[in-house]
Chain A
Amino acid sequence: MTSARRLTLFLMMAPAILWLGLLIVLPHVEILILSFSERVAPRVYQFGFGNYLEFFTEPLYWRTFARTAIMSILVTAITLLLAFPIALYIARVARGRVKAMLLLLCLLPFWVSELVRTLGWMMLLRETGLISYLLRATGLATQPVELLYNDGAVILGLVYGGLLFMIVPLANALESLDPSVVEAGYDLGGSRATVLRRIVIPHAMPGIVAGSIIVFMLTVGNFATPVLLGGKNGLWFTEQIYAQFITRFNWPQGAAFGMLLLLLSSAIVWAGLRLTGQGLGTTLRQA
């Protein structure tokens, strides 16, 4: 390599190195260090595991963490169940323009801001909202019904937000299924359920994994939906991070929470990829 070429390469790589270095790697090193620093006196910090100990000894913190993890898994499972028939229909039944339209209609709501979608659910579910109003108008309820500020509302909002990210990879995976394989399954005497279980679902596995990983990551890291739809009962871990950083100005504690959230999210992604033997690059490209 001549020195001129070497210089060109260096200059072209500079933006990527600055980006990854200054916006990703060093900031994460910073919160890692921050998470291990304890305040011993005003403006005096020293190394210690105090922030992590605080997490394990304060029930509110680890319970919120566990709740976030469990609810995110639940949300991912529900999203998968709801999305599968839709993706199957789009990929295998719908043809031509109908197919393009169905997919486009799926995409549309997700181009719109998360806040707008959440506003829609708030207007439907709250005490003075549309569903409560219609229930009273039809005589099914005599009192205003509060459907907001409970776990159901949080799960509903999160599932709604995750659907697209499940449907697209699922439909992509199902698209490549050869119809003759399915027919062969029926010809050999397989029932609908058997064909689904033994042929369709195994074939869709890469899509299922990709969709589930993305939905889980988005759900665990979500902030607006659980806070707005769950209110005081939302109790999402990202809210704890926000509270430590912005409200209480306890950055070391918030940094420890951030590391724990990153760990949870990465562990699930890693486990998902490991279980199915897929690479991160191919999985992300599926979506």
Chain B
Amino acid sequence: MNRPSLLWKAYIAAFYIFLFAPLVVVAVFAFNASPFPSPPWRGFTLEWFTGTGAVFPKPGVLRDPIWLTSIGNSLKVAVPVALLAVIIGTINAWVLERAQFPGKTLLAMMMLWPLVIPGVVLGISILAFFSRLANGLEDWLQMDLDLMRPGLGLVVLGQLSFILTISTLIIAARLRKFDRSLEEAAFDLGASRGRVLRTITLPFLRPALVGAGLVALLMSFENFNTTLMLVGSDAPLPITMYGQMREGATPAINAVSLLVMLAVGAIASLFALTSKSQA
């Protein structure tokens, strides 16, 4: 099997072309000087990135409030999700790896569940539960609880419901490799609990913490299924893209996609670097 046949090699080549064709097409047509994101090629332009709407009827991505607010909304969700995923993920990892208590296997099992639940179902169940909760609490407290109504706050909770599983797994895997005698040595040398945590344990976990944060950031930024069920009037980027794709968009959508690809590429290479230093 070590001498691959020509047919096999040709298949591999065709496969990679198939894999990249859609992305290349999206990227190339971001620079097409045409009001529609389709052939023929009408010349090179940066109008769909920085245009003011003077040349084509619609402005470029970086000057269009629709795209800019969507990107802003995505960040408003992704940053808290990533931070909470790292903090809660670390605590969960400690519970899984260090604590002893009855029912631990069950808890560990339950932490995996969110990965087997379809995103749409996670979305509707959280929507329904929080609206019941909000109805009850509003009657009782006599005040509005907008945080529990569809909107960015609920999107953060919805995305956390499954991203926490991922961050917990990443951090727990790192904590498992930790040599506890290092901590004991520090205690023996008279270090306080807080100091050991700050100078020994957390530095060891750092690559996993950064990695989990980046993965959470990416997953949040790209999530569509769960987000779709929980958005209110402020749409994050994937929701805006979806709307534009249904209506038929200008090449501005290609431009925004290319920017997403570049940003994602940058985050992914950061992640690759941190996981390399971890190995």
Q: Is the CB of B19 within 8 A of A163?
A: yes
Min distance, Cβ A281 to any Cβ of chain B, angstroms: 6
CA distance A85 to B10 in the complex (A): 11
B54 within 8 A of A: no
B264: min CB distance to chain A, Å: 5
Which residues of the other chain, B, contact A23 by a CB distance below 8 angstroms?
Answer: 126, 157-158, 160-161
Which of B110, B119, B241 lies in contact with A24, CB distance below 8 A? B110
Interface residues of B in 145-196 (CB under 8 A from A): 157-158, 160-161, 164, 169
Question: B12 near A238 (CB under 8 angstroms)?
Answer: no
Task: Kindly state whether residue A53 has any CB partner on chain B within 8 Å.
Answer: no
Interface assignment of B95: CB less than 8 Å from any CB of chain A: yes
Chain B positions 131 through 151: 1 when the CB is less than 8 Å from some CB of chain A, otherwise 0: 010000000000000000000
Question: Which of the residues B16, B26, B88, B121 comes within 8 Å of A258, measured between beta carbons?
Answer: B121
Q: Do A223 and B125 touch (CB < 8 A)? A: no
Q: Is A24's CB under 8 angstroms from B113's CB?
A: yes
Q: Is the CB of B38 within 8 A of A123?
A: yes
On whether the beta carbons of A16 and B121 are closer than 8 Å, the reply is no
Kindly state the separation between the CA atoms of A61 and B109 in the bound complex, as whole angstroms.
33
For residue A58, which residues in chain B have a CB less than 8 angstroms away from its CB?
Answer: none
Please state if B229 and A246 are interface contacts (CB–CB under 8 Å): yes
Q: Which residues of chain B come closer than 8 Å to A242, judged between CB atoms? A: 120, 228-229
**Cα distance A108–B8 when bound, in Å?**
22
With A and B bound together, what is the CA distance between A129 and B32 in angstroms? 14
Counting contact residues on chain B (CB < 8 A from A), the size range is 35 or more
Q: Which of B42-50, B202-210, B218-226 contacts A (4 or more CB under 8 A)?
A: B218-226
In the complex, what's the smallest C-beta–C-beta distance from A18 to chain B, in angstroms? Answer: 9
Please give the distance in Å from A227's CB to the nearest CB on chain B: 8
Q: Are A15 and B4 in contact (CB under 8 A)?
A: no
Does B99 count as interface, using CB distance less than 8 angstroms? Answer: yes
Interface residues of B in 194-245 (CB under 8 A from A): 218, 221-222, 224-225, 228-229, 238, 241-242, 245
* B245 x A115 contact (CB < 8 A): yes
Q: 0/1 per residue, B99-122, Cβ < 8 Å to A?
A: 101000001111111111111111
In which size bucket is the chain A interface?
35 or more
Contacting pair A281 B109 (CB below 8 A): yes
Contact A31 B161, beta carbon cutoff 8 Å: no
| CA–CA, A104 and B273, complex, Å | 13
> How would residues 123 to 161 of chain A score, 1 for a CB under 8 Å from any chain B CB and 0 otherwise?
110101110010000000000000000000000000010
Q: A89-B4, A113-B264, A119-B254 are in contact. Are A128 and B38 (CB under 8 A)?
A: yes
| CB pair A124 B22 closer than 8 Å | yes
Say which residue of B1, B117, B245, B253 sits within 8 Å of A92 (CB atoms). Answer: B1
The 8 Å CB contact of B2, one of A30, A93, A102, A222, is A93
Q: Is there contact, CB below 8 Å, between B29 and A254? A: no
Of the candidates A107, A117, A126, A224, which one forms a contact with B23 in the assembled complex, judged by CB atoms under 8 Å apart?
A117
Instruction: Contacts A12-B94, A119-B253 given; indicate if A261 touches B111 (C-beta within 8 A).
Output: no
User: Are A255 and B128 touching (Cβ within 8 A)?
Assistant: yes
Contact of B111 among A16, A108, A265 (CB under 8 A): A16
Determine whether the beta carbon of B238 is less than 8 Å from that of A113.
yes
SS class, residues of chain A in contact with chain B: helix
Q: Does B56 contact A (CB under 8 A)?
A: no
Is B40's CB within 8 Å of the partner chain A? yes
The answer to whether B25 touches A123 (Cβ under 8 A) is yes
Name B's interface SS: helix
Give which listed residue, A20, A26, A192, A254, contacts B124 with CB less than 8 A: A254
Judge whether A224 and B242 touch: CB under 8 Å: yes
Determine if B161 and A30 form an interchain contact, defined as CB atoms under 8 angstroms apart. Answer: no
User: Which chain B residues lie closer than 8 Å to A245 at the CB level?
Assistant: 124, 127, 229
Query: Does B261 make an interface contact (CB < 8 A)?
Result: yes
B95 contacts A16, C-beta separation under 8 Å:
yes
- A residues near B94, Cβ cutoff 8 Å: 12
Distance in angstroms from B135 CB to nearest chain A CB is 11
Assess whether A122 is in contact with B2, with CB atoms less than 8 Å apart. Answer: no
Q: A9-B99, A265-B116 are in contact. Are A106 and B19 (CB under 8 A)?
A: yes
Is the CB of B250 closer than 8 A to any CB of chain A?
Answer: no
Digit string of A14-32 for contact with B (CB within 8 Å is 1, else 0)? 0110011011111110110
Q: Is the CB of B112 within 8 A of A122?
A: no
Are B8 and A116 within 8 A (Cβ)?
A: no
The answer to whether A275 has its CB under 8 Å from any CB of chain B is no
Q: How far is the CB of B243 from chain A (nearest CB, A)?
A: 10
| A112 at the B interface (CB under 8 A) | yes
CA distance A120 to B225 in the complex (A): 19
18 extra A-B contacts, CB within 8 A, seeds A12-B94, A118-B245, A258-B121: A13-B101, A16-B92, A27-B130, A89-B8, A92-B1, A108-B268, A112-B260, A112-B264, A115-B222, A116-B260, A119-B257, A160-B19, A182-B1, A222-B225, A241-B120, A255-B124, A265-B116, A280-B112
Contacts A/B (CB < 8 Å), 10 sampled: A9-B95, A15-B92, A23-B161, A31-B125, A111-B264, A119-B245, A160-B22, A222-B225, A223-B228, A245-B229
Closest 6 A/B residue pairs (Cβ): A120-B22, A221-B118, A27-B125, A27-B129, A23-B161, A30-B129
